[in-house]
A and B are shown apart, each in its own frame.
Chain A
Amino acid sequence: MQEMIKIEGLKKGFEGQHVLKGIDLKLYKGEVMTIIGSSGSGKSTLLRCVNLLEYPDSGHIYFKDQDILAKGFDVNSYRSHVNMVFQSFNLFNNYDVLGNLTLGQIKVLKRSKDEAKEIAIHNLKRVGMQDFMHADVRKLSGGQKQRVAIARALSMSPEIILFDEPTSALDPEMVNEVLRVIKDLADDGLTMMIVTHEMRFAKDVSHKVAFMSEGVISEFGTASEIFEHPKKERTRQFLASLNI
């Protein structure tokens, strides 16, 4: 299996506070990896480092064997292959739904308007939002916004999508519509890294699970290894605290 992301000895701190204390991780093509762990353990920071929204202090990150921290590396082109979906949706308020999906395609991937629109509509269908093409994004519900955000990422035809707590800002009744969409993407074989607090979903969708604690990956394994036979006391405590 092809190695998509390889992280080695990744460290990142903010103002003297060590947040990531040496992360090693490999993500293979077609793999769904969920990252779980308590608040403040560094899950978002890890994901943001992979997208280079945060720049690591030390260590290495490789995307298909290319060192993304190397001088002269084309970060923008890289990001168009490795998209991110945020907890707070972050849709562009000055564009309608379609505009949100076509902007990156036209400006970054240099697709024609027609092609971009066609791809956008295809992806709106995938997330069940095709009826809202011309809607003002500010008027959508949280679940709809997140589905549009996912369609926006998909429209870039990415090789990896990073999800940072995609359902944490949603009202409970909207969580499932978004999780279902992500599950469909997993079934389609999309490579994903997902930070989530939805343990049942994580168990269901993950090939690999990374349990983070205080800036390190304290336990790593398959979904059944982590959820059914956790080796470490820490992991057991964390899972017990969520009572699943």
Chain B
Amino acid sequence: MNIDLVRSFEIFIENFDSFMYGVMMTVLFAIVGTVFGLIIGLLVSGIRAIKIEKTDSEPVKVIKKIAELIIRFYIFVFRGTPMMVQAIFFYYFFRDIFHWTHLEAGLVIIAINTGAYMAEIIRSGIGAIDKGQKEASRSLGLSNVQTLLYIILPQAIRNSFPSIGNQLIVNIKDSSMLNVLPITELFFQTTSIAGSNMQFIETYLITALLYLLLTSLASLALNLFERKMGLAKAHVEMCS
């Protein structure tokens, strides 16, 4: 059980284009999955935060109730099953309707899967905001939706920024599950490279390092972004 590091390096150089293609696809899936997942999560947790009110008309109450049930089912299913299974199931289930490519299906599935996690993240972010701000907003005459858009969601995003960012890191790694479709992301590329040279340890070492590089860069970027948001706040204080 020894690793030939030189051979590892050779494999990297020989298959540079394949590795880079895999990296590119992985980055694409991680970013698209996280961005659209966040949008889905905001939408879903936003809808969920609009509670049924005494002053609502009957049809509105029914619609809100149904929306809540659909959302709960969505989160239940997508958090409770592996993305690998979701990918295969939904790709074939909708293939004859959408006529979609593996790439399209993969992007949609990672976004919807991430959305379920984001919905829970944002929901707890919303829960952390004191109820008083919502009441103050309503007492000024802002509607439920306005309160959500201008008061609740901006703070929920800020509160849960570390967890939202963490989903990007999770997606860099978990996009590898989409190799089953197949999607030619980094893990899939590695399987084919290792399948032809049969030097699994040397090949997967490269892959592991590439994943580490990606996740570290993502962490760094997230930290910078967070710091920048912090600086923006400090600026407001300086003006006062």
Contacts and interface: CB of A to CB of B under 8 A. Distances in A.
B55 A108 contact: no
Given A55-B55, A94-B154, A107-B146, A79 B236 contact: no
A94 B155 contact: yes
Nearest to A108: B141
Contact of A92 (B55, B57, B133, B239): B133
Given A96-B236, A103-B150, A139-B237, A53 B141 contact: no
A92 to B, nearest CB: 5
B142 interface: yes
A94 B151 contact: yes
A93 B155 contact: yes
B139 A84 contact: yes
Contact of B136 (A52, A77, A90, A107): A90
A25 interface: no
A75 B139 CA distance: 10
Interface residues of B, number: 27
A136 B237 CA distance: 6
A149 B151 CA distance: 15
Given A132-B240, A136-B233, 7 more contacts: A55-B53, A71-B57, A73-B55, A86-B136, A93-B155, A103-B137, A108-B140
10 contacts: A79-B138, A79-B139, A80-B140, A86-B135, A96-B240, A107-B150, A108-B142, A108-B146, A109-B141, A139-B240
B143 to A, nearest CB: 5
Contacts of B158: 94
Interface in B127-177: 130, 132-133, 135-143, 146, 150-151, 154-155, 158
A103 B133 CA distance: 13
Contacts of B155: 93-94
A76 interface: yes
B239 A134 contact: yes
Interface in A134-156: 134-136, 139, 149, 152-153, 156
Contacts of B55: 52, 55, 73, 75
Interface in A40-93: 51-53, 55, 71, 73, 75-80, 83-84, 86, 88-93
Nearest to B54: A55
B141 A77 contact: yes
Contacts of A78: 141
A-B pairs, top 6 by smallest CB distance, nearest first, are A80-B141, A55-B54, A90-B136, A90-B132, A104-B140, A135-B240
A198 to B, nearest CB: 21
Nearest to B139: A84
A109 B158 CA distance: 28
Contacts of A80: 140-141
Interface string A177-219: 0000000000000000000000000000000000000000000
A80 B53 CA distance: 18
Contacts of B137: 92, 103-104
A107 B54 CA distance: 23
Contacts of B138: 53, 79
Nearest to B144: A76
Interface string B52-72: 011101000000000000000
Contacts of B143: 76
A83 B140 contact: yes
A166 B146 CA distance: 26
A79 B55 CA distance: 13
Nearest to A81: B141
Which of A88, A107, A139 is packed against the most chain B CB atoms within 10 Å? A107
B151 A92 contact: yes
Contact of A134 (B53, B146, B236): B236
Interface in B89-130: 130
Interface string A93-111: 1101000000110011100
A107 B240 contact: no
B139 A136 contact: no
